[in-house]
Amino acid sequence: MKKSGISSYLSLIKFSHTVFALPFALIGFLTGAREVNFNFNPWLILTVLLCMVFARSAAMAFNRWADRDIDAKNERTAIREIPAGIISPNAAILFTLLNAVAFIVTTWFINPICFYLSPVALLVVLGYSYTKRFTPFSHIVLGIGLSLAPIGAYLAVTGEFALVPVLFSVAVVTWVSGFDIIYALQDEVFDKQQKLFSIPSVFGSKISLRISEVLHITAAGVLLAASFYGHLGWIYLAGWAIFTGLLIYQHTLVKIGDLSKVNIAFFTTNGIASVVLAVFATIEILIG
């Protein structure tokens, strides 16, 4: 067995993929900060960031633990840390538990509502790992898990729910589930063989791509609605236009029978899109 170090655990939890949720958490945080006239302290920023790290680390490690036998059978995923023997299953589940506890404890330092809702958040992000065993809509559940970032950050600042962060969360659900369907095209045949559920394995590539397009159109529409209800001006709208353009672009990269650019569509394009939107939204909120 290979020695497992920090880099192995960072790979296990795909730390680089925080680029999907973290920018939207920033938008939620700043939207909430604006509501309280930016009256918050650096400690709050730190605890929110730690919650993001702990919750996501627990979710990804648990997903790898739950799917370890499935991953071992799939040529594409057999190189992952657990089936490859880099990290043991026991180490992965211990890592999950430590991060889950750290997440709950950290929410206690934020405010009561975040603390009380923390087990619910963990149930969603951990429960996702088993959904592919009984429903093709696991992509939606993944989106819901990541959508907790903007509304959770807003709750951390204000202690209450509001329409605008909910709109951003809905946008995350549709955006993430849309590009996860594209990513799942790689495993369409494997999922059918293993009797696993996904949009591609149930509906096929052609319909799956159409579903992904509808979800991304919805995401763009909801983000546009957020600009209206959140009183976000032309700077935000410029970011929205780039974000939407990148959504359109990724659908030109993936074609039925040609999945060679799936990783570009999945990670690069969506990662850039989320960062761009967050940058423009931040400028709008701070100086717009």
Query: What is residue 159's DSSP assignment?
Result: S
Residue 1 inside a domain? The answer is no
The 3-state DSSP class for residue 53 equals helix
CA–CA dist 53, 59 (Å, integer): 10
Q: CA 60 to CA 263: how far, in whole Å? A: 18
Predicted pLDDT of residue 15: 65
The type of residue at 29 is F
For 247-285, write each residue's pLDDT tens digit: 999 999 988 888 888 877 778 899 999 999 999 999 999
Whether 240 is covered by a domain: the verdict is yes
pLDDT at 3: 46
Q: How many domains does the chain have?
A: 1
Identify whether 258 is part of a domain: yes
User: What per-residue confidence (pLDDT) applies to 1?
Assistant: 39
Tell me the β-bridge partners of 255: 258
**pLDDT class of 39 with cuts at 50, 70, 90:** confident
The residues, ordered by sequence, that sit 6+ positions from 219 with a Cβ below 8 Å of its Cβ are 171, 172, 174, 175, 178, 247
Q: Is residue 158 part of a domain?
A: yes
Question: Tens of pLDDT along 211-247?
Answer: 999 999 999 999 999 999 999 999 999 999 999 999 9
Domain extent for 234: 6-287
7 band by pLDDT with thresholds 50, 70 and 90: confident
The answer to whether residue 153 sits within a structural domain is: yes
Integer Cα distance of 4 and 109 in angstroms: 32
Q: What's the pLDDT at 2?
A: 45
In percent, the amount of the chain with pLDDT more than 70 equals 97
CATH number of the domain that 278 lies in?
A: 1.10.357.140
The CA distance from 150 to 146, in Å, is 9
As a whole number, the mean pLDDT across the chain is 93
In a domain, 180, yes or no: yes
For 136-154, the pLDDT digits (tens) are 999 999 999 999 999 999 9
Q: Which residue do the tokens 């951003």 mark? A: 168
Residue 12 inside a domain? The answer is: yes
